[in-house]
Each structure stands twice: as C-alpha cells, then as structure tokens.
Amino acid sequence: MAKIIAIANQKGGTGKTTTSTCLAGALQLLGKKVLLVDCDAQCNATDTYGAQTEDVCTLFDVMTRQGTVEEGIQHCEAGDILPSDNALKDIDEQLVRDMGKNFRLREALESMSEQYNYIVLDTPPQLGLALVNALIAANSIIVPITADRYALAGLSQLSQTIGDVRRYFNPTLKIEGLLLNQYKSRENLSKEVVEQLPVIAQSMGTTLLDVKIRPSMGVRKAQAERHSLFSDDTAKSTSAEDFKALAQKIVEEDKNGKL
C-alpha cells in the first residue's frame, strides 16, 4: 500500500515544490514506484516535470469527478505525475455545496494504493480546499523550512491547521519532521534559527530532521531544463546528495516501522 506524504508549509518560498520533486526523484533512485501529485494551482511541479495541461485530465478534473486519477497520470521523463492547471484555483467555489468535498483527493487516490510505493503531494501555501484535501489524504507531512525568522513565524499557522485536520478528519496524520532547506552552515542567522528549531518542532509533536538540504545551482538548472535533479551533471550537486540521504532515511525508517 502506498505511503502518502504531503510536503506542506503555509508560507511561500520554503521550497515545497523543490522538496516534492526532488524527494520523488530520490525515492525512484531507490527503486520505489512514485507518483507526484501537484496540488498547487501555480503548477510549478507540473512545469518542472514538463507535463501537459491543455486538453488533458488534471487534478481539478479528478476532484470535480470529471476524470479519474488513471486518466490524469502522465508518465514524464522525471517520473509519474498527476498534473495541476490554473483551474484548480477555483476548486473551493466549484465544490462549495459538496458534502464530501474534503475527501475528494483521498477517495481518488485509493485506486492507486497498490500501484505505487509512495505518493508525494506538493501543496499550496494558502489554506483552502486543495491543502485540506492533501492533509486528509496524507499519512504524514514533511515541513520544509528556511533558516529565517519569518519562516519560523509561519509554523504556528500550519500547526493550527494540522491540529484541526487531525481533530475533525485525519486523526492519524503524522508530522515526519521539519526539513531545513537552503541551509548554509556558515551563516550566523542560520545557526540561530537551527538552535530554535528543535524546541519548535517538539511543540508541534515532531523533530528537526537530521538531513539538511544545502543550496546548489543544480536544483535551478534541473528545473530550468525540466529534468530530474538526479540526471546529467546536476546529479553530483550537494542538493542531490542531500535529497538522496532524505529518501534513504524515509525508506529505512518506514521499513523499521518508525514512521
């Protein structure tokens, strides 16, 4: 059965899409069958994968029951993806009167549970139906965060959202950990923030992940060229090494039943 991991933070600029696409790619390197679902109307993950959005079934169609996940999945060079398009920004309005609107994604992904080992959800920063659906569908959450004070302030909002989702919809939802992105060990501000994160993580019932993602030009280059971080010359970047370490940690701890 597929494990569904939501990459979530209710603050923009923390690297949700980068984490989603690179984690999916790193899990594939370990021989895992992975599906990436783009739950963000900005469609950055869809663009990174080079997926089509015109005259095809997208997540909006799946959530409005105009299409199925099977119809929507595209097999791109970087991997399998259920793409998003701009129509997703209107999903709240489209489903406003639907009694089961919060469970559309969970129900849609049930048919994929035996076909994939992991399903990674790239989520939007704003609270709305797309984010709520992702958190209800997920087994666990990874929270990407950057080493700045504004990023720390945004965690309280996410913590409240997760608490509400657990209380009303998904009581077993777990936060796997806070993932430090764009980490520069020599910067004083980064060190200050890192010192605070374990306490903040504990207040959210989780931990700061041991793996830290260092910045590299490899990520930008791979995204610009629409290929996996783990192909061509970007495969040797520091970010590629770090995401491989993250994927290895997730797989090993899943195997040991720790996550």
More confident residue, 155 or 27: 27
Q: What is the pLDDT of residue 187?
A: 63
Contact (Cβ atoms closer than 8 angstroms) between residue 151 and residue 143: no
Q: Does domain 3-255 have CATH number 1.10.10.10?
A: no
Output the pLDDT for position 11. 87
Q: pLDDT band for position 78 (50/70/90)?
A: very high
Q: Which long-range contacts (CB under 8 A, 24 or more apart) does 217-220 make?
A: 219/18, 219/22
Segment 135-143 mean pLDDT:
98
Q: Among the ranges 12-21, 54-63, 197-206, 247-256, which has the highest mean pLDDT value?
A: 54-63
Q: How many CB atoms sit inside 10 A of residue 5's CB?
A: 24
Q: What are phi and psi of 144, to 5 degrees?
A: -75, 140
Integer-rounded Cα Rg, in Å, for the chain is 17
> Count of CB atoms within 10 A of residue 190's CB?
18
Residue 84: closest CA among 28, 21, 38: 38
Residue 125, both tokens: 């920063």
**What is the reported pLDDT for 97?**
93
Distance, CA of 79 to chain centre:
15
Q: d(Cα 182, Cα 185) in Å, to the nearest integer? A: 10
Q: Rounded to 5, what percent of the chain is helix, strand, coil?
A: 50, 15, 35
Range in 81-85, 87-91, 107-111, 181-185 with the lowest mean pLDDT:
181-185
Residue 156's pLDDT band, with cuts at 50, 70 and 90, is: confident
pLDDT tens digits, 25-72? 999 999 999 999 999 999 999 999 999 999 999 999 999 999 999 999
Reading the block at residue 146, the tokens are: 């950057």
218-256 residue pLDDT tens: 888 988 888 889 988 898 899 999 999 999 999 998 888
Task: Examine the pLDDT at 257 and tell me if it is beyond 80.
Answer: no
Question: Exposure string (b/e) for 142-174, b if CB count within 10 Å is 16 or more?
Answer: bbbbbbbeebbebbeebbebbeebeeebbeebe
Please tell me the predicted confidence (pLDDT) of residue 119: 98
How much is the pLDDT for 186?
65
- The residue length of the chain stands at 259
Residue type (1 letter), 92: D
Q: What is the pLDDT of residue 155?
A: 87
